[in-house]
Structure 1
Amino acid sequence: MRAAGHGVWGLAHRSGSLEVIERLGAYPVKGNALDRSSIFELVEQLRPEVVIDQLTSLPANLADLPAYLPADRRLRLEGGGHLFDAAVKFQVWSYIQQLSGFYLDGGTGLATEAAPLRVNAPGTIGESARMYAQLEARISGAAPMETVGLRYGFFYGPGTWYWPGGAFSSHLAAGEIAMIGAGDSTFSFIHVDDAAQATVAALMAPAGLYNVVDSQPVRPVEWLPAYADWIGCSLPPGLDEENSPWTDGRGKRVLPEQPDGCG
């Protein structure tokens, strides 16, 4: 955004995050989104034209995700609510909300911006879908403030889970990732650089919901072998060997042997 000529202030609570913001050329602002009065004071002081809500509280390690979800949900709903209310009060021109493109129900085809969230799914999937549904409902009635919802796909690229040395790669290397069933669900990824460019473009986008994903949706049976080969790992096991996508239905492997472990 700095490269596009915009002044950027970044809100963070941890010192490490503030250092990253400053290193990237933005102005770091220490604060706690859960402190409503301080968020109102901050927005009143800065008087931004646009607020971009990217509030999250997610772990570096995928295994820790279930334990982090309650705090993440509170930060997005309660902390994001404070930020949103402050934006309304101080007449911010546009509000951009981080949303999810991987809890959508596309039925028998690919999901579109009109696809509903899978709010009735079991477990943490349903919980997360209901949280995002609340965020979408919050920005849908924000007139006269312009609102844009960005339904990002799975991030990959430097510093993400899906990158050499990232959390997903570490779990895959340790043999802790397994294919469920035939691996024919659909994943939509987005490189973090492309996600950043889309976010800048959203500054001038008409109000609405946008799916921010790569143009190539792909099934795990396709991308997991390529990913394992890329980082030098063996193929992940199937939960049902007879129906594993790595066999011909009789237990015989049909893909080339991969090295044991990671290089």
Structure 2
Amino acid sequence: MKVLVAGASGALGRPLITRLQDAGHEVWGLAHRPDSLEAIERLGACPVKADALDRAGIFTLVEQIRPEVVIDQLTSLPASPFDLSARIPADCRLRLEGGSHLFDAARTWHVRRYIQQLSGFYLDGGEELATEASPLRVNAPGTIGESARMYAALEKRVMSAPMMEGIGLRYGFFYGPGTWYWPDGAFSRHLEQGEVSLIGAGRSIFSFIHVDDAARATVAALTAPTGIYNIVDSQPTKISEWLPAYADWIGANVPSNLGEQEALRLIGEESIYYQNSLTGACNRKALNMLGFHPQRLPWLDR
């Protein structure tokens, strides 16, 4: 089938293009920068230059291509997680406003299925792992709450078109080539430089997902029943456990511990919440419905 991938040159977009082509699909990759378009072409997809914030341009593009499926992977994330708070406004605008243009164009030109990138790490599972029925943490402090509200709006949007099949994929924290969480990634660099601390008891549970596993699940979503899916690994782990294991995996020193009161004074309430209030996510639905078999975390299985 003909598939249009928006945000096709990102850490997930690149393996996604490969997996889609391996499955026999005709892939068109939307990007804005020349280097991104070149990367899409090298992968064998058809590159198309467009700015998602240009509503008229997006409508024209979708009319010309007439894809059967649109996969919305639009993001505007910084090179380092330490710069995320400064980038959040631009990221939210691209996903909400630019994504709205793409979504509206898809409805107008009778795209059959729309697949939306969502969050599997800002879910509120209470005392348990979050399921697809769990809400997002829209009242969390700082950029966590801001991002959660954005993802909640995206979830509502993708499930709102009665004449178009909506799929929402709640991905965990990405790891693998081109991501923050990889030996040459930005998080590893900050950890090696002693810039990452464990805050308080480190009670937050993280759910990760390798970008290639995420790509495979996304391809499976082309023909899966509509709805929301948690695309996360099968090893939800407290940060107090995975952070020192990750440091050992990349050859860094064990992170220092920072008390909650000191963290509140130095880096604010959001940092405490991030490391002590998040719940991981349950992937049972994806395992059963998508034939999903995520690989095990390399820093835990050594």
CA distance in 1, matches of 2:205, 2:82: 22
CA distance in 2, matches of 1:19, 1:68: 25
CA distance in 2, matches of 1:27, 1:232: 40
Q: Tell me whether 85-94 or 54-63 shows the greater mean CA deviation.
A: 54-63
Match of 2:256 in 1: 237
CA distance in 1, matches of 2:160, 2:27: 26
- Please state whether the residue corresponding to 1:161 is helix, strand or coil: coil
CA distance in 2, matches of 1:18, 1:65: 24
- 1:122 matched to 2:145: no
Per-residue CA deviation, residues 12-58 of structure 1 (Å, 9 max, x unaligned), is: 01112112111211111111000000000000000000000000001
CA distance in 2, matches of 1:178, 1:23: 39
- 1:210 matched to 2:226: no
CA distance in 2, matches of 1:165, 1:177: 16
Q: 1:113-152 alignment to 2 at 5 Å?
A: 113-152=132-171
Q: 1:85-164 alignment to 2 at 5 Å?
A: 85-164=104-183
Tell me the CA shift for residue 201 of structure 1: 0.3
Residue type matched to 2:66 in 1? R
- 1:29 matched to 2:36: no
- 1:174 matched to 2:183: no
Match of 1:75 in 2: 94
Match of 1:84 in 2: 103
Q: 1:183 aligns with which of 181, 202, 210?
A: 202
CA distance in 2, matches of 1:183, 1:52: 35
- 1:201 matched to 2:211: no
Tell me the CA shift for residue 177 of structure 1: 0.6
Match of 1:57 in 2: 76
Q: CA RMSD in A?
A: 1.0
| Percent of residue pairs bearing the same amino acid type | 73
Tell me the CA shift for residue 112 of structure 1: 0.5
Match of 2:37 in 1: 18
- 1:47 matched to 2:66: yes
CA distance in 2, matches of 1:184, 1:10: 39
Tell me the CA shift for residue 240 of structure 1: 2.2
Tell me the CA shift for residue 140 of structure 1: 1.7
CA distance in 2, matches of 1:91, 1:42: 13
Runs of 4+ in 1 over 3 A off after TM superposition: none
Query: Which is higher, the Rg of structure 1 or of structure 2?
Result: 1
- Please state whether the residue corresponding to 1:83 is helix, strand or coil: helix
Per-residue CA deviation, residues 78-110 of structure 1 (Å, 9 max, x unaligned), is: 000000000000000000000000110000111
CA distance in 1, matches of 2:149, 2:138: 5
Q: 1:7 aligns with which of 21, 26, 40?
A: 26
Residue type matched to 1:168 in 2? F
Using CA pairs below 8 Å that are at least 6 residues apart, which structure has the higher relative contact order?
2
- Please state whether the residue corresponding to 1:179 is helix, strand or coil: strand
Match of 2:271 in 1: none
